[in-house]
Chains A and B, each alone.
Chain A
Amino acid sequence: MHFSFKYSFKPRFSDIDKYGIAHHSKYFCWFEDARYYLLESILQISKENLLQLYAPIISLKADYKKSIVFENTYVILVKVIIDKFKAASKFEYQIMDLNEEILFATGYTEHVFTKSTGELLLETPDFLYDKIKLI
């Protein structure tokens, strides 16, 4: 099951390092912001469910193409890949300018699902599938 969405952001002053560009670590924070935007705003998963379901990262990557600077607003194009025959769910990210003409970075995170107790879930929870089907 694949689907895509967009999340826009503007770097904060504190995101910028001494070189005048966004620090490499911030890209993963923006990836995370985009994921939470998906869960809370697009899928409208309740805080209750979010507190009970954890999605720890088991793998991540970022490829930096162009430097991100303070003044501009950017968009993250996110592709979600959830496959019941795969162990992990994958989020793929592309950071672009608002016109989606210039690519600044690509990356991905891979997640498994656990209960809040840390117990690994053997399958993606049904309520998540049900929400995604409605999009």
Chain B
Amino acid sequence: MSDLKREVCEMILNRLGFDDLTTEEVDFNAPLFAAQDKEEKGLGLDSVDTLEIVAGIRQNYNIRITENDMHIFQNINTIVEFVSNKI
């Protein structure tokens, strides 16, 4: 796992209060907004969680996310890829 990938993931886990999860346990391809169902496929995030990630990326990487960038909120990999392309 790259340093950036770990860093972005840690930021997301910290901001969203996933204190019991480590970066090693996270499924980077899990859909962000799908519910955490019995098969634990989704991360169960909501729109306010998106704002937390937006604020975190702005604070940590000085990258402003606009309405045109909303496609990056598919899974953690797509967010990492976006940050990687911008820095």
Give the chain A neighbours of B49 by CB distance below 8 A.
Answer: 87
Structural contact, A88 and B48, CB atoms closer than 8 A: yes
Check if A120 is an interface residue, CB within 8 A of chain B.
yes
Interface size in chain B (residues, C-beta < 8 A) = 15
Q: Which of A85, A88, A112, A120 is the one whose CB lies under 8 Å from B58? A: A85
Residue on A with the closest CB to B70?
A122
Give the contacts of B19-68 with A (CB-CB under 8 A): 47-52, 54-56, 58-59, 64-67
Cross-chain contact B51 with A122 (CB below 8 angstroms):
yes
Interface size range on A against B: 10 to 19
The interface centre, meaning the residue of B55, B58, B59, B66 with most chain A CB atoms within 10 A of its CB, is: B55
Closest to B53 in A: A87
Give the residue of A84, A87, A120, A123 whose beta carbon is less than 8 angstroms from that of B52. Answer: A87
Is there contact, CB below 8 Å, between A84 and B54? no
User: Residue A134 at the B interface, CB < 8 A?
Assistant: no
Q: Which residue of B lies closest to A87 (CB)?
A: B51
Residues of A within 8 A of B (CB): 58, 84-88, 112, 119-120, 122-123
With A120-B50, A122-B67, A123-B54 already in contact, 13 other A-B pairs whose C-beta atoms are closer than 8 Å: A58-B48, A87-B48, A87-B49, A87-B51, A87-B54, A87-B55, A88-B48, A112-B48, A119-B67, A120-B47, A120-B51, A122-B51, A122-B66
The 4 tightest CB contacts between A and B, nearest first, are A87-B51, A85-B59, A87-B52, A85-B55
